[in-house]
Amino acid sequence: MPENISATRPPVVTILGHVDHGKTSLLDRIRHAEVAAGEIGGITQAIGAYQIEYKGQKITFIDTPGHAAFSAMRHRGGQAADVAILLVAADDSVMPQTIESIEHIKSAGIPFVVAVNKVDLPGVHPDRVKTDLASNGVYVEGYGGNIPLVNISAKTGAGVEDLLEVILLLAELEELKDNSSETPATALVIESSLHPQIGPLATLLVQKGTFKKNDGLFLVKKNIGKVRSMIDYTGKTILQATPSTPFQVIGLSDVLSVGDIITNISTSLSASVQTSVPDLANVLNSEKPTILLKADVQGSLEAILGSIKDQANIVHASVGNVSDTDIQTALSAGAEILGFNVRISGSVAKLAEIEKIRFTNFRIIYQLFDYLKELQEKQTIAQGPKIIETGQATVLKVFNFGGIIVYGCVVTSGKIKITDKVQNSKISSLQANKSEVLEVKKDQEFGITLVPPIELKPGDIMTATTIEA
């Protein structure tokens, strides 16, 4: 038995699910650390990686964010993992981001276990989750399929050990080979940031081979530094890192992008998941606010860029605190500086004041988005009619009643009126609570008929628009 264990590597696990279903609380329970209490607004805002030992076997967890704006980061988490936990709250059941998470898991092609959380709450019906999952193509054990399901409570710890047992079983079936002797060693960038004193930092997850102190670091043949120091998730210095081990590396010459593939030997290896974020110089659109964006870590920067790229003229985007150069760039472009979890020194703040450059920092991502919408509203409106977005809804189910297509949806933002259009189709009917209505508002479930019908499936987003004179 010991020989078999030594021939395998620890499984890498990601937890996916809808926001507020308890992903961070579950990870907190598993690794006995107060992570949830330290998150701003209760939302995980950056990817991290942690390792635990259970019954003599190590398990690595990738802590993927649950906020909707971070779907791209969650997707990378799914790709990096061997096993996934699909977390569903018993009181909410399947929600829009649950469906999105299912797609991420299927795209990654990895085994997964369903963890039904909050079963300790009074009046919940965990069996409803099985029915809703089946409606979305996920068939659990005892309900027409072979996907394991475990009822848990992240709050009390009930069922968590059963969940870990299932993870180890799934990992055993995957036969994860120990490839620590392979060269070159490769690692996936899980997170990246710029420390004001230390310089570029990155959290790496070893995929194969062994990284050691003083190893060179390469990104597609380019030397990007060497391993000056390796720090594990507990903050301790380590001398080497083997497959499935997460560690923070000091000694980089550049800020890396989440998803970059790093090696310890110069090679022709291509970065299969490379998603660099270059400086952006958009053609200025007078209908959009012009901004310079700064963020604390690369993953946050990419998530924000992915959400606002069509809403603003972004003249520059980078990680790290606001610098003199940022002020000069903003001045030349007539831009406002928006920051996410960054700082501005006294001297740079003074320069910004002299040059009349506005800097606003945010600690919660959706507050940044709300502020950007306010900037858009203040922007000069071009002459003539303008198409504006009035609301968005997520498709929950699609019904066909004798050729009439009815979409069952829930409003996720704004409101939708009978006079609006949806993807250029007219709204012929809006129903809520079995009655015809003129409009539906945020969080309201409703049925909608479009002319002509459009191809939508559960999990898709429909956007309602109107013409503003």
Task: List the chain domain ranges.
Answer: 2-174, 186-263, 290-378, 386-468
Residue 250: the pLDDT is: 93
* CB 114, CB 149: distance < 8 Å: yes
Q: How far apart are CA 89 and CA 25, in angstroms?
A: 12
* CB 353, CB 375: distance < 8 Å: no
H or E stretch at 324:
helix 324-333
Residue 40: the pLDDT is: 57
pLDDT tens column, 430-454: 999 889 999 999 999 999 999 888 8
* CATH architecture for the domain at 2-174: 3-Layer(aba) Sandwich (3.40)
Whole-structure pTM value: 0.61
CA distances 321 to 69, 291, 296, 340, Å, are 22, 15, 7, 10
pLDDT tens column, 355-370: 889 999 998 888 899 8
Fold of 386-468: Elongation Factor Tu (Ef-tu); domain 3 (2.40.30)
Residue labelled with tokens 């036969």 = 175
DSSP 3-state of 281: coil
- Judged against a pLDDT cut of 70, whether residue 155 lies above it is answered with yes
Give yes or no on whether 186-263 and 386-468 have one common fold.
yes
| 285 residue type, one letter | N
Residue 90: the pLDDT is: 94
Q: How far apart are CA 435 and CA 445, in angstroms?
A: 12
Contacts of 113 (CB under 8 A, 6+ apart): 83, 84, 85, 86, 147, 148, 149, 150, 163, 166, 167, 170
Residue 213: the pLDDT is: 93
- Rounded average pLDDT over 142-169: 94
Residue 277: the pLDDT is: 35
Strands 186-195 and 112-117: unpaired
Q: How many CA within 13 A on the CB side of residue 301?
A: 29
* CB 298, CB 277: distance < 8 Å: yes
Residue 373: the pLDDT is: 87
- Rounded average pLDDT over 57-61: 93
- Judged against a pLDDT cut of 50, whether residue 2 lies above it is answered with no
What the block records as the tokens of 10 is: 């620890």
- Rounded average pLDDT over 106-132: 90
pLDDT tens column, 20-45: 898 888 988 988 754 555 565 555 55
- Of 36, 37, 16, the closest CA to residue 25 belongs to 36
**Going by CATH, does the domain composed of 290-378 fall within 3.40.50.10050?**
yes
- Per-residue confidence at 330, pLDDT binned at 50, 70, 90? confident
Q: How far apart are CA 273 and CA 257, in angstroms?
A: 10
C-alpha radius of gyration, the chain, whole number: 24
Residue labelled with tokens 């406002």 = 336
Average per-residue pLDDT for the chain: 83
What the block records as the tokens of 135 is: 């409606």
What the block records as the tokens of 353 is: 């004041």
- Of 34, 54, 57, 38, the closest CA to residue 46 belongs to 38
Sign of the Cα torsion 320, 323, 329, 333 reads positive
Residue 448: the pLDDT is: 95
Fold of 186-263: Elongation Factor Tu (Ef-tu); domain 3 (2.40.30)
| Identity of the highest mean pLDDT range in 183-187, 265-269, 413-417 | 413-417
- Judged against a pLDDT cut of 90, whether residue 93 lies above it is answered with yes
Q: How far apart are CA 289 and CA 140, in angstroms?
A: 48
- Per-residue confidence at 65, pLDDT binned at 50, 70, 90? low
Q: How far apart are CA 222 and CA 207, in angstroms?
A: 19
- Judged against a pLDDT cut of 70, whether residue 6 lies above it is answered with no
- Per-residue confidence at 378, pLDDT binned at 50, 70, 90? confident
- Judged against a pLDDT cut of 90, whether residue 308 lies above it is answered with no
pLDDT tens column, 230-284: 998 888 899 999 999 999 999 999 888 877 888 888 654 333 333 333 333 333 4
* CB 362, CB 375: distance < 8 Å: no
- Judged against a pLDDT cut of 80, whether residue 99 lies above it is answered with yes
CA angle 224, 228, 231 (to 5 degrees): 110
